[in-house]
Amino acid sequence: MSARILQSNETPFAAVDLDPITLDIIENALRNARNEMDATLVRTAMSPGIREQGDAFPLIADHKGRMIVGQFGSYIGPFLEGYDGTVEEGDMIMLSDPYSVGGAVSHCNDWLVLLPVFKDGRLIAYTSMFGHQSDIGGKVAGSMPIDATTIFQEGVRIPPIKIWKAGQYNEDVVRLIMHQVRTPEWCKADLNALIASCRVAARRVVEMAERFGDDVFVSACENLLARNHRAMASLIDTAIGEEKVSFEDYICDDGMGYGPYKIKCTMWRENGRVVLDFAGTDPQSKASINFFLNENMMRMFFGIYMIMVFDPQILFNDGYYDLIDVRIPEGSLLKPRFPAALSGRTHALGRMFDILGGLLGQKTPEFLTAAGFSSSPHLFYSGTDSKGEYFQLFQIGFGGIPGRPLGDGPDGHSLFPNFTNVPNEFLERYFPLIVERYETVADSGGAGLHRGGNGIEMVYRFLEPGLIAIHDDRWFTYPWGVNGGAPGARARKILVKADGTETIVGNKVEDIAVEAGDVLHFVTWGGGGWGDPLERDPALVAHEIVQGLVTVKGARAYGVVIVDGEVDSAATEALRAAIRAERGPVQTFDFGPDIETLRANCERETGRPAPVQPVWAHYAAAAE
């Protein structure tokens, strides 16, 4: 089963030898077209998740569906392979159901628009954009129920459909979709923004082909893919060994009392290709934390990590995919069986970057990156205000990026580099709440030669009764440090009622009732530290105390003694000598306490009971 491409012009493209200047011009024109897609989106979308935070991912692909420029890797190939339909001029395809496209999108909140670009009756490229919809119906506001046991509880599922067919808009199907959601005005505006972004890029592609010629444009795409293939092959040859290395990390819990969930990956080089084998990963969850990991998406994760660590100048595209063999066991947390719930897949998605860091750094520890803000904590707040108007907030929080070989991790940053926070002024204007505090949490970044980025504390005062939900992780396990660096601090959430009563709420909770005057302290986690903290410049530590990033007490983790605001050099030297003598050699990884110790100390440290490891055979059977 695969898509049938209908063209009035079947003339094949001819290969053309390109000079470097022409290739550079087309490459930069494609980069600019991709940026124009983002600009169009944020200017026309309505939901804060897309308009303010940028939770959307563009791409421009060649006529075979291979991404040339973009942010999230190409899902077009897997889609075309699984799509039993035609693709012709004037079509535009929309979808959101992960199971219908092999995980090319990974939960139903992501609405994807795909536009085949024709010129003179011949398919010359694709443009595509997907964005996270704030609501798609289902059992809870925001459509990401933590306790969902099936995807049918997570809102409207859209199989591949043509919202434009041969130039005709399918208004009825769009009306049907919007009838299922709680925020149809936002969703329709966001859908139109996705469409507009794809059309803008399509125009730019046609303009390039008209300027240089169709064959030159297509040959340029082939050259850019081939260049990426050569660069990645060289990186793989130098950075990946033939000896197998393994790494595992955990999702703390599933929000239903079970966990932690292990994700394990083994990596090696074989015949010039990288093998990423996820054997040993825990079975799928009965809850919604499953991540339907498309193999091309994992190839994209690997490529992004390799490029950003070793050579950020390389243009990221799909040219290297045949160099990576991804193996994911069926029925696991990363390849659950239909109809497993998927809406809470963010935690496992983000953990892929920590796992890649742990794998790739074992051969070359100097390139190791600590564990960091590898998730996207969500806050949902919904209800009906005193004027009888419905409100619904979906917001992604930020935290500490890990310490890195090149320096400290940024404080209060996003997992995805292009995300921005929703301005507090926007929140207070459009939702019944006040943001009383938005600041970094001192000492939450792991100590190291290069400090892990601090998490942040967002304090919300609710002005109307409603329901809140929280989706976060790293409240049980630690964001680990490397090369002597310490782990970062864990996440926590505290609800203070109007009468002053304080409750530590979970990091995966649903339908928590709040009243006017209640205050939520939403504290995210820090990044792990990199390198021996005793090697950090004491003057820098003292300066960060003035900045509010480190406390006087926290400075002692770096072996620095502060007296009357100044570094006590003699006391610092003595403290560092004592710490070195007590700890011994630095370790490559510092995961903090082991799992069983964490279980024993959980209630005392977090105010929450420890998650329970399920009996997997019974649990997996129940999930089916």
pLDDT (tens digit per residue) in 473-518: 999 999 999 999 999 999 999 999 999 999 999 999 999 999 999 9
Q: What is the pLDDT of residue 303?
A: 86
Does 314 score more than 80 pLDDT? no
Place of tokens 């996270």: 132
> Using CA atoms, how far apart are residues 493 and 472, in angstroms rounded to an integer?
10
The pLDDT of residue 304 is above 90: no
Residue 84: what pLDDT?
A: 86
pLDDT tens column, 382-397: 999 999 999 999 999 9
| pLDDT at 154 exceeding the cut of 80 | yes
pLDDT of 373 reads 80
| 196 pLDDT more than 70 | yes
% of the chain beyond a pLDDT of 70: 98
Distance CA 450, CA 365 (A): 14
Question: What region, left, alpha or beta, does residue 218 occupy, with left being phi > 0 and alpha being psi -120 to 50 degrees?
Answer: alpha
H or E element, residue 225: helix 214-239
C-alpha span between 598 and 12 (Å, rounded): 62
Could you tell me what percentage of the chain is helix, strand and coil, using 3-state DSSP and rounding each to the nearest 5? Answer: 35, 25, 45
In angstroms, what is the C-alpha Rg of the chain?
25
Say what the pLDDT of residue 421 is: 87
> What pLDDT does residue 72 have?
66
pLDDT at 158 over 70: yes
CA dihedral 149, 151, 155, 156 (to 10 degrees): -160
- For residues 433-462, give the mean pLDDT: 97
At a CB cut-off of 8 Å and minimum separation 6, what does 583 contact?
none
pLDDT band for position 467 (cuts 50, 70, 90): very high
Give the pLDDT of residue 345.
94
Q: Is the pLDDT of residue 452 over 90?
A: yes
Show the beta-strand stretches assigned E in 515-554: 519-523
Does pLDDT of 73 surpass 70?
no
Helix axes 184-212, 20-44, angle to 10 degrees: 160
Polymer length of the chain:
624
pTM of the model as a whole: 0.94
- As a whole number, mean pLDDT of residues 42-46 equals 91
Q: Helix or strand or coil: residue 597?
A: helix
Rounded to whole angstroms, how far apart are CA atoms 58 and 42?
Answer: 12
- Looking at the chain, the number of H-run helices and the number of E-run strands are 13, 26
How far from chain centre, in Å, is Cα 116? Answer: 27
Collapsing DSSP to helix, strand or coil, 244 comes out as coil
Whether the per-residue pLDDT at 180 is higher than 80: the answer is yes
Sole residue written with tokens 């795909």? 114
The per-residue pLDDT for 417 is: 67
Residue of 467, 466, 497 lying closest to 385 (CA atoms): 466
Determine the residue type at 584. G
Q: Which residues contact 614 (CB under 8 A, 6 or more apart)?
A: 258
Task: List, for residues 26-42, the tens digit of each pLDDT value.
Answer: 999 999 999 999 999 98
pLDDT computed for residue 623 by the predictor: 58
